[in-house]
Amino acid sequence: MLKRLLQWDRDTFLYLNSLGVEGYDSFWSIATNITSWIPIYIFFFILLFLKFPKKQAALMTTTTILLLFFILLVVDQTKDLVARLRPNNDEEINAVIRILKTPVGFSFFSGHASTSFAITTLIVLFLRKKIKWIWIFYLWPIIFSFSRIYVGVHYPLDIIAGAVFGIFMAFISYYLYYKFIAPYLRLDHLV
C-alpha cells in the first residue's frame, strides 16, 4: 500500500512539474518565496486590529505567531525523522524534472504548506463572522503550496500532509484560544 502511494506521489509530481512553462517561471519563483507573501501577513494582522479591540487583536496575533513557531518546530523535526529526499535532490528523477530552486533539506512534510494553511485557517476562523469574503484568502496557501511542486522541491504528499497538519493545528489553536484566553477578555458574545 505504501509503495503504491509513493509511486502515485512520484508520478503525480512528475506530471504536475512537467506542466511548467518557461514563461511562467519567474511568477512561480516569486510565488514560492516566503518574503513575497509578507504583505498578506501584514494585511491579516491589520484586519484583526480593525475588527477586534486592540487587546483581543494583540492576543490573536500572538496566538497566530506562536502557532507559526510551533509548526516550524514540528516540520523541522519531522523532516529530520522521515528524511525523505526532495525531488530536486533525488538522482532518479532530478535529470528529468524542472528545477527552479535547490534547497538541500528534506522534503516531508512541506513547511510552506503547513504554515500557510495554518495561518490562513486561524485568521479565517477569527474573522469569518466579521468578513464574508474571508474565504478568498485560501488562494494564498493554494498558490504558495503548488509553487513548491512547480519549482521542483516537494511531492504532492508533502503538500497534502503539510496542509492537513496546518489546518488541524489551526483548529486546535482556535479552540485553545477561546477556551483559555478569551474568557479572561470577557468575550461573552464569542463562540
**Domain tally for the chain?**
1
Query: pLDDT of 35-62, one tens digit each?
Result: 999 999 999 999 999 999 999 999 999 9
Query: pLDDT of 72-87, one tens digit each?
Result: 999 999 999 999 999 9
Domain-embedded: residue 154: yes
Domain limits for position 55: 35-184
Domain-embedded: residue 2: no
Domain-embedded: residue 5: no
pLDDT of residue 191: 47
Domain-embedded: residue 66: yes
Domain-embedded: residue 117: yes
Domain-embedded: residue 29: no
Element (H, E) at 57: helix 54-82
- DSSP 8-state symbol, 86: P
Domain-embedded: residue 98: yes
What DSSP assignment string belongs to 95-111?
A: TTS--S----S--SS-H
Domain-embedded: residue 113: yes
Residue 130 phi, psi dihedral angles, 5° rounding: -110, -25
Q: For helices 156-176 and 139-150, what crossing angle results, to 10°?
A: 150
